[in-house]
């Protein structure tokens, strides 16, 4: 079995031409007269996804035939190389993951080797994805209402414990923090990197007695600023967290990020992901990751207010309704199925 570190070639170990092409593609002009690279508009998360895919591919090339690294990026790649690259993937790597890696590799090649036809690589990745075993969609098992109530229950339990012991323990502070995070996500399903970037007085702003989210474009994947009011129910709960619970988390006073970790630094998006999964699994019996909160919100809106369903696009920060439409179709199909079941049941009676 290959060690995980052998699956990726660090950027500094890339061939010089690959590094130069990458930097040229992602170069961002400092003023209106300086040219930017074709990939300069991509968010940091998208860049990391592409560098991850390309580093994986170069690690394979190094293991496959290191002489190929002396060639230009376009000259070293053909269908046979891709076939062997797919076989090189770990057994634990499923068809969906492999297909996504190939799509990301193709996107990277389009930026570092413009002018070349990489459509054949997309055809291969689509074929692998179509043949892969699909995981069942389980996000319909949980609703935004359930997730919101779960978060409220965590916060209320922490308050009850504190009232009983007359003190706020770190465990109570963590539980309250996690409950607030889950309830906030249920109401405003932010992407986890955006959630991790929230800072008190920066993205989370208090005006008078009211808290609101004012998130600049640089903290949003789609590079569009977003503003959200926060529900009355969470207003006093945020006050309680900021003024009483947060300060009981180790070294929280040394930074202004909303989500303080037990390690004395802000929670990163990976820690947030693991925390939300753990808390939801403890209560629901299955883990709900932060992205499923977005599915739950889209499905709930599609079911409860189908006439205004296009508003989900703005709630989720999607660039177009097309990304949201699959949730609308799923919700409408479910409603149709229930209506049919009622009709059949009524006729039998």
Q: Which of 204, 229, 225 is nearest to 216 (CA)?
A: 225
Q: Above pLDDT 90, what percent of the chain?
A: 50
Per the model's pLDDT, the better-predicted residue between 328 and 100 turns out to be 100
pLDDT (0 to 100) of residue 229: 81
Handedness of CA 271, 275, 281, 282 (dihedral sign): positive
Q: Which of 12-21, 32-41, 258-267 has the lowest mean pLDDT?
A: 32-41
So what CATH class is 146-285? mainly alpha
Ordered DSSP codes for 137-155: --GGG--HHHHHHHHHHHH
**What mean pLDDT is predicted for residues 73-85?**
93
Average pLDDT score over residue span 192-204 = 92
- Higher local confidence (pLDDT), 1 or 288: 288
Rounded percentage of the chain residues whose pLDDT exceeds 70: 77
Q: Which residue has the higher pLDDT, 299 or 249?
A: 249
pLDDT at 344 > cutoff 90: no
Q: What is the pLDDT of residues 295-336, one digit of tens each?
A: 776 665 544 544 444 444 444 544 444 444 444 444 444 444
pLDDT at 19: 94
Residue 211: predicted pLDDT: 93
9-18 average pLDDT score: 94
CA distance 156 to 279: 15
CB atoms inside a 10 Å sphere around CB 126: 13
**What pLDDT is recorded for position 267?**
95
Q: Is the pLDDT of residue 244 over 80?
A: yes
The residues spanned by each domain of the chain are 4-131, 146-285
Closest listed residue to residue 257, CA positions, set 284, 219, 288, 283: 219
Asked which of 56-70, 259-273, 277-291, 298-312 is least confident by mean pLDDT, the reply is 298-312
């Amino acid at each position: 079995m290959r060690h995980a570190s052998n699956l990726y070639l660090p950027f500094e170990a890339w061939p010089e031409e690959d590094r130069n092409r990458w930097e040229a593609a992602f170069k961002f002009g400092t003023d209106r007269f300086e040219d930017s690279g074709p990939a300069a508009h991509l968010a940091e998360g998208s860049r990391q996804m592409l560098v991850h895919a390309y580093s994986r591919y170069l690690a394979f090339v190094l293991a496959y035939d290191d002489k190929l690294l002396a060639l230009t990026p376009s000259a070293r790649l053909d269908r046979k190389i891709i076939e062997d690259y797919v076989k090189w993937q770990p057994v634990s790597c499923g068809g969906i993951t492999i297909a996504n890696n190939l799509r990301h590799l193709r996107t990277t090649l389009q930026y570092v080797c413009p002018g070349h036809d990489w459509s054949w690589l997309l055809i291969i990745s689509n074929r692998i994805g179509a043949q892969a075993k699909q995981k069942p969609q389980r996000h319909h098992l949980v609703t935004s209402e359930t997730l919101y109530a779960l978060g409220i229950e965590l916060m209320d339990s922490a308050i009850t414990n504190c009232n009983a012991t007359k003190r706020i323990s770190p465990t109570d502070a963590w539980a309250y923090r996690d409950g607030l995070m889950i309830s906030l996500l249920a109401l405003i399903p932010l992407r986890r990197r955006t959630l991790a970037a929230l800072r008190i007085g920066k993205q989370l702003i208090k005006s008078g007695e009211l808290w609101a989210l004012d998130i600049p474009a640089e903290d949003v994947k789609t590079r569009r600023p977003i503003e959200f009011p926060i529900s009355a129910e969470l207003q006093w709960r945020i006050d309680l967290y900021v003024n009483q619970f947060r300060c009981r988390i180790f070294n929280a006073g040394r930074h202004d990020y909303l989500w303080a970790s037990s390690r004395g630094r802000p929670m990163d998006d990976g820690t947030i992901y693991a925390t939300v999964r753990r808390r939801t699994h403890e209560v629901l019996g299955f883990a709900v990751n932060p992205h499923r909160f977005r599915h739950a919100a889209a499905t709930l809106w599609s079911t409860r207010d189908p006439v205004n369903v296009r508003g989900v696009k703005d709630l989720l920060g999607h660039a177009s309704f097309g990304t949201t439409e699959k949730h609308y179709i799923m919700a409408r199909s479910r409603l149709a199925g229930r209506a049919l079941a009622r009709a059949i049941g009524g006729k039998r009676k």
